């Protein structure tokens, strides 16, 4: 029926842009695994919602003035470049990791299409076109890392954010090349931003590690990899699951719900609070002290 189709399209479009992942089908979007129009539309909406409103405004302003990538803000350049790299890496991961496994019965084009969609949905959208529980262990493990990274700051996505990941990468790069400053796109990233990014990643990893440990204790009958995936999916506010969510105990579900809450507002709120406190109360500047590391 046209009315029913319109309703389903409207609902899933909103869910995709908001990176919510709620669906009205029992198996998410698995029945549409070979329908490019559905996959393509949903994927575009997920990406638009995941890059953030600052980037969308910058793109709009740039198009109005005549498209010129050199006019993009540094934030936009970092988000778009890192997002593109992560999408490509995720696509290749699923494609080669599941070529002869979960994707074995599909054509080459369908394998690429499904792989790309799964890479996109890891940006905290939560839809899936193939059953997560049917994937290989190595694929599930690396997918957890992508969910941990998440989308962009100021977007509808969760995770530590691609900008944090990019700054951490550039920081390691500057150390390897023995550079005194962290730089990207011919700009210097302030030291306090690098410190905040490192702190955010460390705190997030600690939260995830503790949550996984607690879940292993609460759910001894569940596979560790499934619990690992469940926690990272919750922290990144993704919503993907290997199929064990409904079988979790009441205590396990409370832990997952708490991690979802922390993943959505915790890291960002904590970093902003620390930053505001430091700026308003830093009245004394102490001399440098040398400490050996490594």
CA distance 98 to 153: 31
| Mean pLDDT of all residues in 270-288 | 67
Looking at the predicted structure, is the pLDDT value of residue 239 above 90?
Answer: no
pLDDT tens string 30-86:
889 889 999 899 999 999 988 988 999 999 988 888 878 788 899 999 999 999 999
Looking at the predicted structure, is the pLDDT value of residue 280 above 60?
Answer: no
Tell me which of 105 and 66 has the higher pLDDT.
Answer: 105
What is the value of pTM for the model shown?
0.89
HEC sequence for the chain: CHHHHHHHHHHHHHHHHCCCCCCCCCCCCHHHCCCHHHHHHHHHHHHHHHHCHHHHHHHHHHHHHCCCHHHCCHHHHHHHHHHHHHHHHHHHHHHHHCCCCCCCCCCHHHHHHHHHHHHHHCCCCCCCCCCHHHCCHHHHHHHHHHHHHCCCCCCCCCCCCHHHHHHHHHHHHHHHCCCCCEEECCEEECHHHHHHHHHHHHHHHHHHHHHHHHHHHHCCCCCHHHHHHHHHHHHCCCCCCCCCHHHCCHHHHHHHHHHHHHHHHHHHHHHHHHHHHHHHHCCCCCCCCCCCCC
pLDDT confidence band for 151 (50 / 70 / 90): confident
Average pLDDT, the chain: 89
pLDDT of residue 293: 76
pLDDT tens string 163-218:
999 999 999 999 998 888 999 888 999 998 998 889 889 989 999 999 999 999 99
pLDDT of residue 274: 59
Long-range contacts, stretch 193-198, CB < 8 angstroms, 24+ apart = 193/167, 194/167, 196/271, 196/274, 196/275, 197/163, 197/164, 197/167, 197/168, 197/171, 198/168, 198/171
Share of the chain above pLDDT 90, in %: 53
Looking at the predicted structure, is the pLDDT value of residue 254 above 70?
Answer: yes
Looking at the predicted structure, is the pLDDT value of residue 99 above 70?
Answer: yes
Buried/exposed code over 19-30 (b: 16+ C-beta within 10 A; e: otherwise) = bbbebeeeebbe
- Rounded to the nearest 10 degrees, the angle between the axes of helix 36-51 and helix 74-97 is 140
pLDDT confidence band for 25 (50 / 70 / 90): confident
What are 143's two structure tokens?
A: 């997918």
pLDDT of residue 276: 61
pLDDT of residue 288: 83
pLDDT confidence band for 285 (50 / 70 / 90): confident
| Mean pLDDT of all residues in 249-263 | 93
């Amino acid at each position: 029926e046209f009315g029913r189709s319109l309703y389903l399209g409207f609902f899933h479009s909103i869910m995709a842009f908001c990176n919510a992942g709620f669906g009205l089908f029992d198996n998410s979007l698995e029945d549409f695994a070979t329908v490019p129009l559905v996959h393509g539309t949903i994927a575009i909406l997920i990406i638009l919602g995941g890059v953030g409103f600052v980037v969308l405004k910058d793109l709009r302003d740039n198009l109005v003035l005549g498209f010129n990538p050199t006019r993009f803000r540094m934030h936009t350049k970092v988000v778009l470049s890192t997002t593109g790299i992560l999408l490509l890496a995720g696509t290749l991961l699923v494609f080669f990791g599941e070529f002869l496994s979960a994707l074995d019965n599909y054509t080459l084009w369908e394998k690429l299409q499904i792989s790309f969609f799964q890479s996109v949905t890891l940006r905290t959208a939560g839809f899936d076109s193939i059953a997560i529980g049917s994937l290989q262990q190595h694929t599930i493990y690396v997918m957890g890392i992508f969910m941990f990274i998440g989308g962009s700051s100021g977007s509808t996505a969760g995770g530590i954010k691609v900008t944090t990941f990019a700054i951490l990468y550039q920081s390691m790069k500057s150390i390897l090349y023995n550079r005194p400053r962290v730089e990207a796109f011919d700009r210097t990233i302030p030291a306090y931003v690098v410190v905040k990014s490192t702190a955010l990643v460390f705190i997030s990893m600690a939260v995830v590690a503790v949550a996984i440990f607690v879940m292993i204790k609460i759910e001894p009958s569940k596979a560790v990899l499934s619990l690992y995936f469940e926690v990272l999916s919750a922290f990144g506010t993704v919503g993907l699951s290997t199929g064990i969510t409904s079988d979790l105990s009441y205590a396990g579900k409370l832990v997952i719900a708490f991690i979802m809450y922390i993943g959505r507002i915790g890291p960002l709120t904590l970093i902003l609070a620390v930053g505001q406190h430091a700026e308003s109360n830093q009245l004394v500047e102490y001399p440098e002290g040398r400490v050996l590391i490594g």
